[in-house]
Structure 1
Amino acid sequence: MLKTAPIRLPKGGLVVLLAALAAFAPMSIDMYLPALPEIARDLAVPAREVQATLAVFLAGFSGGMLIYGPISDRFGRRPVLLAGIALFIVSSFVCMQVTEIDGLIAARLFQAIGGGAASILARTVVRDLYPPSEAASKLSLMMMLTTLAPILAPLAGAALLEFADWRAIFTTLFVFGSIAFVLVVLMLPETYSHEERGAMSLLQALGAYRHILADPPAFGLTVASASIFGGLFAYISGSSFVYIEFFGLTPGHYAMLFAMNSVAIMFAAFLNSRLTKLFELKTLLYAGVLIAAAAGLYLVVLDRSGMAGPYTVLVGLMAFVAMVPILGANGMALLMARYPKNAGAAAATIGASQFGGGAVSAMAVGALHDGTAFSMCAVMGAAGLLAVIFIFGLGRKL
């Protein structure tokens, strides 16, 4: 039962609000993807430097999660969440003003550090309120709702570019963050009471990372999660250049294909919310990793055979990204259940690994960029293989 809510939430309102908070990442990333080529032209920098803004964002998001998880285990979810959103709002305003790529990279870093609070603590609140199987179901429903952001955000970004420059995208993020701040103040209760926190010191809370990463099954799950999300962000960082510059599609056409992948994620998340009632979470986890690995191999073969085209590539992308909610929701639920007294740190471990893997893969895609689909396909194929090795090598005893 909820603790001391400032305002009573309507039925289902909590899941919707938490999904909106979890959407900070896709809103901040996907809305500006159609603008990457324009940013490169406007700031007079090569594509790899603009792609660095994405890699830096992912690294900052990952680092922010590692900070907020254990701090929220010690001081509660609500105050930490509000502080993070406030940082996101200020940084979004700075992004609107920059005129050089270095300034944009720095502002995106702080924007990411702030946004990490909303993303990770929204999921931690679910663990505070529900047992593992129900938490996995709620996390899947949240991901299904959150997937509306990747569907709508690139379309909104492309639409904004028709009437304004790329800075309008960051104005939109400033408004989004401000609305989220007000909603948390008015509607979200503290879900982790002083009594539940006990006498844990901040040092003890931070020390939970050592115990989690020294646990082989938890470590295997963490690396596998990082790998699959790394494949997702290889797609996110590389797809706009592949579809717009290599295949010659318009930003609007690219946004439509991007939305199709988001629909695949949404459908898989909805299906997972039902399957968690029928199958063990581990079974669903293993199946998802195998399908993602097969999809990554398909993309590599497609690229190397010279048969890559907008729609043949789309098939592999949809199969891979559809597995992200299967691993994301079930993996996070399993790890938080394994460490119930350090749910914030456990959620941050998985969340940080996901965005950390995304940062590495985004940098790899940028470094390997040769004007074709090679870098995106190669990194996604490697990500699927790495996930299989670690989930079946170390994660079998979860």
Structure 2
Amino acid sequence: MTRSTRAPQAARFPLWLLVCASLTALAPLSIDMYLPSFPALAADLGVDIGRVQLTLGTFLVGLAAGQAFYGPISDRFGRKPPLYAGLLVYALAAAGCALARDVDGLMLWRFLQALGGCAGMVMARAVIRDRLEAHESARAFSSLMLVMGLAPILAPIIGGAVLGVFGWRAIFWLLCGASLLILWFVHRYMDESLDHGKAMPLHLGHVLSNYGELLRDRGFVGYSLSAGCAQAGMFAYIAGSPFVLIELHGIDPSHYGYVFGTNALGLIAMSQLNARLVRNRTLDHVLRGALVAPCLAGLALAAAVLAGVAPLPVLLAGFFVFIASLGCILPNASALAMAQQGHRAGTASALMGTLQFSLGTLAGAAVSFWHDGTALPLAVVMGACGLGAVLMRVFGHAGATAQGAG
């Protein structure tokens, strides 16, 4: 693939971008597909639903920790070798989840599953940055989210159907098979995107120096954490919504996927709107406007629950606005964070993912540990995440502006 063909191919949604989308979709599939099984899983393993929610927390910890490992390796050896290793680990761990006999074993296997699956997230962002510049990257991320958005629509529906017929263990066997299929697509259809002439040395001092420079880059950190706070609100929703919707408000587990899918449709619609908006506007301008939605939605949810005026329609409306807005926020914030990091795209992608999923882990854990039989933990955490996303964007924009002036 030559440089002259990059932009037209991105516009046609090339096959390499479709493979990137499938790699990125593996994590939401791993999360969303088993959400309807929380009550059944808790009953089968003889634990309360709070303990089952911690299996999601351990998965998020694995996603956060593993990404820092893959980035420097990919900047040295290329994008494909870490993908082969990560997807094989994921497949084996998914099989371990299916065979788990207690919740502690399930937590361990979920952690290992995340360590394998996060390779795809790091490599997908790095490949896009390898091939495209900032504005093209934002549009590519928006196109990628069109495919990614299908995961939270289809995954809970498929998970609910599989749960009803075969039980919760079959969900993990299905994930195992999906990862092996993606591995074949990577081998067959994804070309190596790293220019080996620009490969970076894999020495501990050099790796730590790169991470240190990135952490001192206010633009990179601010935009990464802005997306991370918004995404953390989504993970809070993922952790808390099965209880709030299924247990508290009586939605049938088989119908939970339709509620989840409606939010994902909103995210898809906003991601495609974003691809149009960034054609004539700066990425930061679009991001600034989009961040108003989760901030107001999250704070309104928290206020409504505290005031005791949060019936199911109010909750559903707040959830929809918050999740849909991510379709504009995540592509632009990711592109802005990666804009100046082409020389170390793998390392930057890894650190961005680690920062974001660390926030997601904290948000999910906060909802799980604060479980009090009401919707309050979920609403308050989502409100805090929406506000944090706005503040981090201000921090990142100030840093990027100062860097540009310097």
Specify if TM > 0.5.
yes
| SS class of match (1:276) | helix
Give me the whole-angstrom Cα distance separating, in 1, the residues matched to 2:208 and 2:136.
27
Give me the whole-angstrom Cα distance separating, in 2, the residues matched to 1:290 and 1:80.
37
CA shift for structure 1 position 44: 0.6
Runs of at least 5 residues in structure 2 that lack an aligned partner in the other structure: 4-11, 401-406
Are the structure 2 counterparts of residues 203 and 326 from structure 1 closer, same or farther at C-alpha, using a change threshold of 3 Å? farther
Partner of 2:388: 386
Give me the whole-angstrom Cα distance separating, in 2, the residues matched to 1:73 and 1:199.
8
- Number of residue pairs matched? 393
| Post-superposition CA distance 1:209-250 (Å, at most 9, x none) | 111111223222233222111101010110011000000110
2:117 to 115, 118, 126: 115
Partner of 2:7: none
Partner of 1:62: 64
CA shift for structure 1 position 357: 1.1
| SS class of match (2:310) | coil
Partner of 1:7: none
Does residue 343 of structure 1 match 2:334?
A: no
Partner of 1:128: 130
Structure 1 length-normalised TM:
0.95
2:51 to 45, 49, 52: 49
Give me the whole-angstrom Cα distance separating, in 2, the residues matched to 1:205 and 1:144.
34
| SS class of match (1:177) | helix
| Post-superposition CA distance 1:10-48 (Å, at most 9, x none) | 972222111111101111000000001111111111112
Partner of 2:329: 327
Give me the whole-angstrom Cα distance separating, in 2, the residues matched to 1:337 and 1:382.
27
Give me the whole-angstrom Cα distance separating, in 1, the residues matched to 2:139 and 2:52.
37
Partner of 2:18: 16
**Segment drifting more, 246-255 vs 216-225:** 216-225
Contact 2:224 2:334 in 1 (8 A): no
Partner of 2:261: 259
Instruction: Map 1:196-275 onto structure 2 (within 5 A).
Output: 196-197=198-199, 201=203, 203-275=205-277
Partner of 2:282: 280
2:183 to 181, 184, 204: 181
Partner of 1:141: 143
Give me the whole-angstrom Cα distance separating, in 1, the residues matched to 2:145 and 2:289.
19
Aligned sequence identity (%): 37
Instruction: Map 1:363-382 onto structure 2 (within 5 A).
Output: 363-382=365-384
Contact 2:65 2:354 in 1 (8 A): yes
Give me the whole-angstrom Cα distance separating, in 2, the residues matched to 1:198 and 1:386.
34
CA shift for structure 1 position 200: 6.5
CA shift for structure 1 position 76: 0.6
Give me the whole-angstrom Cα distance separating, in 2, the residues matched to 1:197 and 1:242.
48
CA shift for structure 1 position 284: 1.5
Runs of at least 5 residues in structure 1 that lack an aligned partner in the other structure: 4-9
| SS class of match (2:146) | helix
**CA-atom RMSD, angstroms?**
1.8
1:355 to 354, 357, 361: 357
